[in-house]
Amino acid sequence: MKSYAYLLEGLTIQRVLVVSVVCVVAAAIVVRSVLNTYADLLLSALCVGYTSMVLFTIAGNIRQRRIPREVMQVAAIVAGSFLGTVMATILKNRDVTTMFTERLAGVSITMGLGFGFGCVVVAMYILREKAARDRENLMRAEADRQKLEKNVLEARLALLQAQVEPHFLFNTLANVQHLVETDPPGAARVLDSLIRYLRAALPQMRESVTNLGREIDMARAFLEINRVRMGSRMTYSIDVPDSLKERAFPPMMLISLVENAVKHGVDPCCEYGSITIRAAEAEGRLRVLVEDTGEGIKPKKGGGVGLANIRERLKALYGPSARLVIEEREPHGVVAFIEVPA
């Protein structure tokens, strides 16, 4: 029984009162033009009103999708008018069988009036519900907009918080320290790369708008430092047409993918590995891809945090028209690419 209680959801005292008042007023209006007493009319009106109200409520709550709710509700009013009239007949102790013969005219009038008033009330209800739904939709749209704004803010904050790893910085400086003694031109080259990398990677130096060329330069500086540090264990190549370098591209995304390729791909792998950056335009989309031949992703290995950050930022910037895809590379390694509207 309890499980069907939802069918009567919305049958509030307020609704009962409204129906009662409508019945009282309707009977008062009709009593002028017919011979019946007011009490007699009121009883009929209340029977039709309450029956219709209950059926109307149930029709509104029934969980089915085939018939539109409004149609069900109007049908409920028709059924309610009929059943209410029958009920009034029984309560007045009259013969039900004569309803459709000698008393058909009176009965039709009761049903007709019940139906008419019912429809007016239902129309009011439906309009009010629609207004409430509109309000709710408006509020939801507003909430969505605020959520998007929040995402954009969070993305901006995450961008500011992205740090240069001290471990990376000190290890690089240790390399420079040695090269200064043994290979000064080599030391100068590594320092050049380090400066170029830091210029882009330090939050204070970071520009909010950037293009693909600048992001590629930063990635190249980072890869060059790592190539010196890792010796013969790593090589890299960058294959990006000059025509794409002026394209707008969100900051710090490419470098995240490249850092992952070094840190989670090539570095943990004891053998030799290579990293490739490629960019291409196709079907109105700009695709920037980072491929490594490292040890690949193990199902229980972490490292998705930077990626979640990229996804959030892409969503905030481009909505559903941008994406980040990560795929396994044969025979080993990972391919990650970002696609944005060109």
Among 90-98, 197-205, 222-230, 275-283, the segment contacting another protein (CB under 8 A): 222-230
- What is the sign, positive or negative, of the torsion defined by CA atoms of 214, 215, 217, 222? positive
Among 67-75, 112-120, 208-216, 305-313, the segment contacting another protein (CB under 8 A): 305-313
Interface with another protein (CB under 8 A), residue from 32, 63, 65, 66: 63
Residue 164 C-beta: closest distance to another protein, Å? 12
Contact call for residue 150 and another protein (CB under 8 A)? no
Contact call for residue 270 and another protein (CB under 8 A)? yes
What CA–CA distance (Å, rounded) separates 56 from 76? 5
Calculate ∠ Cα 276-279-247, nearest 5°: 135
Contact call for residue 325 and another protein (CB under 8 A)? yes
Determine the residue type at 285: R
Contact call for residue 268 and another protein (CB under 8 A)? yes
Q: Is the CB of 97 or the CB of 232 nearer to another protein?
A: 232
Residue 78 C-beta: closest distance to another protein, Å? 26
Interface with another protein (CB under 8 A), residue from 150, 239, 328, 341: 328
Residue 142 C-beta: closest distance to another protein, Å? 16
What contacts 295, CB < 8 A, 6 or more positions away? 264, 265, 268, 269, 332, 333
Contact call for residue 66 and another protein (CB under 8 A)? no
Interface with another protein (CB under 8 A), residue from 100, 153, 301, 321: 301
Binding mask 154-193 for another protein (x = CB under 8 A): ------------xx--xx-xxxxxxx-xx-----------
Q: Considering only residues 67-126, where is the footprint of another protein by CB under 8 A?
A: none
Among 16-24, 34-42, 113-121, 303-311, the segment contacting another protein (CB under 8 A): 303-311
Per CB under 8 A, residues contacting another protein are: 3, 6, 63, 166-167, 170-171, 173-179, 181-182, 228-233, 267-270, 297-304, 307-308, 311, 320, 323, 325-328, 334
